Structure 1
């Protein structure tokens, strides 16, 4: 039996990346409630008063991780979509998508759990390699087309 993603790895990895995104979108709320720290006065008033209106390091860490993922995943999805339209080698496309996916997860975990500094920056750098490779192949295809 053939895997339905065998001929289109882009859809599989994009789906996985999008599944990660909503998960992080909901994590600051439970963290905020557990820490009794709310980012705006309206939420603080609803949950006990203005004394709970404060910044919390854990909540801010989750928010920054979520924002960082949005800033990196959406451009990758855009590049991946255009790259897939070029009809690339399927093995090479799978490697691009898999490397990005794995190292974005490593980066997010390193961000959320405050792991040693080189882990996060190395994971970020490696995750950017497929983006640069796809962008270069897209530019090469455009130049060859013109």
Structure 2
């Protein structure tokens, strides 16, 4: 079993990629909040219509769908459906002690695929473009999980 620590360059690769993905997930949440505040719309729950320091004059129309806000919300949901699997598969992959170049290729490849997915979604590219970015990231995670499973079973 490979040691987990910052003296292990494979783990450092994982840590950098994972930290970038933490920032992506959290940043997308904040982007959704920013868009709700900027547009004064796209609120998600009826209780959001209670008056408060930020929403001083709530209006039921604030609960109506707003693509500007919902697009960010969909990107966030997509991140939450994909990035946690990377965190788990990536850590298991590190434990197999793969070649460093392979770990860097896969982990930074996943980060790049997620960044490309974000750009494709934010710029309203076709589903095929987004699906291509998703597929690349998904195949990377699947490979890492299978790699770890095979290493465990052999």
Tell me if TM exceeds 0.5: yes
Aligned match of 2:3:
none
CA distance in 1, matches of 2:7, 2:127: 36
Higher mean displacement: 125-134 or 5-14: 5-14
Deviation at 1:64, TM superposition (A): 1.0
- The runs of 5 or more residues in structure 2 that have no matched partner are 1-5
Deviation at 1:67, TM superposition (A): 0.8
Would the alpha carbon gap of residues 5 and 129 (structure 1) be closer, same or farther in structure 2, given more than 3 Å must change?
Answer: farther
CA distance in 1, matches of 2:127, 2:144: 27
- The runs of 5 or more residues in structure 1 that have no matched partner are none
Q: Does the 8 Å CA contact 2:92/2:145 hold for their aligned counterparts? A: no
CA distance in 2, matches of 1:117, 1:50: 32
CA distance in 2, matches of 1:122, 1:116: 10
Residue 144 (structure 2) pairs with residue 134 (structure 1): yes
Aligned match of 2:44:
39
Mapping for residues 1-146 of structure 1, pairs under 5 Å: 7=9, 8-37=12-41, 38-46=43-51, 47=55, 48=57, 49-144=59-154
Q: Does the 8 Å CA contact 2:32/2:69 hold for their aligned counterparts? A: yes
Give the alignment's TM-score, normalised by structure 1. 0.87
Deviation at 1:36, TM superposition (A): 2.1
Structure of higher RCO (CA pairs closer than 8 Å, 6+ residues apart) = 2
Number of corresponding residues = 141
Deviation at 1:5, TM superposition (A): 7.9
Residue 20 of structure 2 aligns to a residue whose secondary structure is: helix
Q: Could you report, residue by residue, the CA deviation over 1:119-144 in whole angstroms, capped at 9, with x for unpaired residues?
A: 10111111112112112211211220
